[in-house]
Structure 1
């Protein structure tokens, strides 16, 4: 999209307000740090948002983002539906036998992934997606809580007098999504008892606690329950004396398959339709990173309309499974390994099914020897290669754990949150490295839309 002078002027105005007096910066830092600790804005023991400004986008950008995400989501649903009967897609996605057994279980409601997150970069030239987190996206509560904190910041209150903003609150949409699935699953309108299910001691524990408090404030009984403490008997899934109707699943499918004994109560109750689980396990089809490989593979082009194909070309990076043999690039047949070696500086190698930046090798940051090692390791495992996309950078005011404030350039990863395939919120991850990931040491800020 074209450069927007209004956006640049708004950022400059906010930064000027921050630096208006010798104490404004430090007072803003102290306010945000104290409120963040009070509201459990903590990830793995560290502050999640050590920044003094949210990420601003224009209303025009927001409308564009929502429309393009909706078009790509049409493709997500097509692949998800087709994969149920097309074993080629199973194989190309890298679905394992254990995953296939879980996928075959009908979740009891429609939709391949009813709460998801598209990780993207929005620049003046392009809007590019790099991953789809379709299984159990983190950050929905974190971003709302941080947005509310920023709205209380004195500098922000002065800023909105000149530049009105729309904060993106999405917890109510997550709750509505859970309830819609539960009502379809149960056929009734009773109020479910909710369990947030994941392992104890994870870095995201504070977000679980935020959600628990929010659900309870909306009148729902809710607990946080590790899988191994669940019990399934007499047709009911329980955690102690708490009977569970609806599971907000945050535990990963990979963990469930690796620790089957600890997760058998959850899986058996799901299989018997004794509990509603959101998201269900069919999300695995589109959660695999090779999903982008299916979208960009000419063999599957007939699945999509010309308009959908154009959206894929515009927004989805070329992606292929890392393997020996021929493939296509820009309509030409190439030897894949020769192509990967010849074009290291514009490619990334990543595992098909990991998170938190694990196993990712960035070609333009690796030495030739490191790149060759990554190729060799990728050939032995389940890896893919993906083309580099245009990335966004912006200078943000940042404070260190010691309290030092500096203005630093950050990589800006804009992450729309989708509910039933429609964008309902977003947040932004920031990093000093090419891996813009909170687990890998990055941070996050809320995304605010500047009103027209």
Structure 2
């Protein structure tokens, strides 16, 4: 537990300064209010600035290591690399379409703090990661006088994710601008995606509008290509498409790859920028992290690189029938210390938690993971619990957080947190645990 968390909770218990109800009284903009108000924690999350800065530097180094894997381990053969991490040829071909070979440094690294430092759980790369609007929470909270006073007293800081993202979008859109000094951006989902995700997209649109950007929402089938190749949405030319659809959505849609082809052509011709390209998906697969952790590959990295991997990445191994002899047996023995994750999964879906399984259930899960392919076994990271005061009940409970650290070409771009009660199960994710809450993150000295 950080000392500042205890200080905050103690103030809430004393009824000092109105901190207990600060989140409830924070005035949020309409779209953010609709999307997130029911899911907010009653207090922000606190992290040490020095630890955050050090972890962000490690993430930049890890990003470079991930991008180097095809060259280091497979003589530059991307197809061999993709096959090794479990990608099917059709998916590999789609991920490489309109790629430059150097994916944009845009993503979110999810991590637990285990009491000694941050440990990486997964590295989600690409523009579809979401959460780019969460700094709205921080700014709203700072407009509450009682919290603003607490922030000044304790030297709290935060990084505006939306502002950092807006700068990136302006820079990337510049080559395709059609006369205006500001780009028109399309936030584009896959077919049928606006229905379930529209409220989250509108919160992103609202946050970008605060940054002076004109962002339009649509689905991939709503976009048209003009005769000159430039993409339009409802007749409005788009300078940049902020991709909110994943390659897997295109493959699951019988018309998906064909409908996406104008996006690729417009990007290649410089008429409308596709940001990010799908090639980010080559490196966000969890089996790529397993390659970094695999002792059979250790000679491909120097001592400093190996130390970086050991510092931030839990023991991780790809599970496949052709894997190392004894690996499955080792995983059976280490049930209480392991979790099985689908390499391309998200939100904790289709995950098997060893310490919540019986031996028989775990054996079945391992067999299923090998049969399905693409699964990774990862060492359990026990997150440090933090106290949270509930202003409705007046009680204090322990919660745990999965911190999401954002990275752009300019480096660290802010953080948010998904949080659960410490006794609420192993998965901290809104897709798989309805009790998960979202919260902004402040750094402190």
Q: TM-score, normalization: structure 2?
A: 0.87
Q: How far does residue 427 in structure 1 lie from its aligned partner after superposition?
A: 1.2
Find the counterpart in structure 2 of residue 330 from structure 1: none
Displacement of 1:40: 2.1
In structure 2, the residue matched to 1:256 is 250
1:299-327 residue CA offsets vs partner (Å, 9 max, x unmatched) = 43344332111111121122222223552
Secondary structure, aligned partner of 2:32? coil
Q: After alignment, is 302-311 or 256-265 more displaced?
A: 256-265
Tell me: CA distance 1:202–1:320, structure 2 relative to 1, closer, same or farther (3 Å): farther
CA–CA separation in structure 2 for the residues paired with 1:133 and 1:207: 18
Aligned residue among 294, 300, 303 for 1:297: 294
Q: For the aligned residues, what is the CA RMSD?
A: 2.9
Change (3 A) 1:165 1:202: farther
Q: Distance in 1 between matches of 2:304 and 2:17?
A: 53
Matches within 5 A, 1:34-433: 35-36=27-28, 38-43=30-35, 47-49=38-40, 51-79=41-69, 85-107=77-99, 111-183=102-174, 191-198=182-189, 199-201=192-194, 203-234=196-227, 235-262=229-256, 264-272=258-266, 273=268, 274-325=271-322, 327=324, 335-382=326-373, 383-398=375-390, 403-420=392-409, 422-432=411-421, 433=425
In structure 2, what is the Cα distance between the partners aligned to 1:188 and 1:345?
60
CA distance in 1, matches of 2:131, 2:71: 26
Cα distance in 1 between the residues matched to 2:151 and 2:315: 40
The alignment covers a number of residue pairs equal to 431
- Give the TM-score normalised by structure 1: 0.86
- Structure 1: any 5+ residue segments left out of the alignment? 328-333
Shift, 1:363, TM fit: 0.3
Query: 1:253 Cα deviation (Å)?
Result: 1.3
The question of whether the paired residues in 1 share the 8 Å contact of 2:107 and 2:126 is answered with yes
SS of aligned partner of 1:216: helix
Relative to structure 1, the CA distance from residue 46 to residue 228 in structure 2 (aligned partners, 3 Å threshold; closer, same or farther) is farther
Secondary structure of the corresponding residue to residue 132 of structure 2: helix
Q: 1:254 Cα shift?
A: 0.6
Q: Do the aligned partners of residues 244 and 185 (structure 1) sit closer, same or farther apart at CA in structure 2, a change above 3 Å counting? A: closer
2:22 paired residue among 11, 23, 28: 28
Offset at residue 197 of structure 1 (A): 0.7
* Aligned counterpart, 1:438: 430
Q: Secondary structure at the match of 1:128?
A: strand
Give yes or no for contact 1:19–1:25 (8 Å, CA) kept in 2: no
Question: How far is the alpha carbon of 1:261 from its aligned partner?
Answer: 1.5
When residues 249 and 323 of structure 1 are mapped into structure 2, their CA distance, relative to the original with a 3 A threshold, is same
